[in-house]
Amino acid sequence: MSHDPYALAVPAVPKFAVHSKDFTDGGPLPDTAYQPVSTPPHLSWSGLPGDTQSLVVTAFDADAPIPGGFWHWAVKDIPPAGGPSLGVLLPNSLGQRKYIGANPPPGTGTHRVFFCVTALSVTTLEAPSEASLALLHIMLIPHTLARGIITGTSTPRD
């Protein structure tokens, strides 16, 4: 798959920088970001809009061989000066409230995992505790100020 899953995201908003100590944009994810360890990579950001009240962080494998891709992680209500550990976890594609490490199936090639940080105009996103990732993204629309993305790659460990 070669498309950018965020190319059609609404609203079209300014971008800010997302960084990681664990990988470079477009580079391979660290071994710890794979199953069974499943530790999310370090993320930081700069250039947030001045009126940012909270952040949402998601991790999405756009190349997973299933319709709709695979959501590894979703965290909302992160303070702008904090990190994902200070936010509220939402269910990932497996229905679990945690980061699920990369585990591409054999024969599926290199996968791109998009770590998206969305700056919001509200301190708390009123998403239900069992909100799907689709509902989360719909609820982001009226509150999104800016978005930053860093992409890591994962390969099957066969």
Per-residue pLDDT of the chain (158 residues; tens, 9 = 90+): 467 888 888 778 999 999 999 999 999 999 999 999 999 999 999 999 999 999 999 999 999 999 989 999 999 999 999 888 999 999 999 999 999 999 999 999 999 999 999 999 999 999 888 889 999 999 999 999 999 999 999 999 86
Give the total residue count for the chain: 158
Name the token pair of 79. 């303070």
59 backbone dihedrals φ, ψ, rounded to 5°: -130, 120
60: β partners:
71, 114
User: Which residues 6+ apart lie within 8 Å of 17 measured at CB?
Assistant: 45, 46, 47, 148
> Residue 113 and residue 117: Cα distance in Å, rounded?
13
- Amino acid 89 reads L
Nearest to 56 by CA among 39, 76, 80: 76
Record the pTM.
0.95
pLDDT for res 7: 84
Peptide bond into 11 cis (omega under 30): yes
pLDDT for res 2: 65
87 backbone dihedrals φ, ψ, rounded to 5°: -100, -175
User: Which residues 6+ apart lie within 8 Å of 14 measured at CB?
Assistant: 49, 145, 146, 147
- Amino acid 145 reads L
Structural domains in the chain, sorted by start = 17-154 (3.90.280.10)
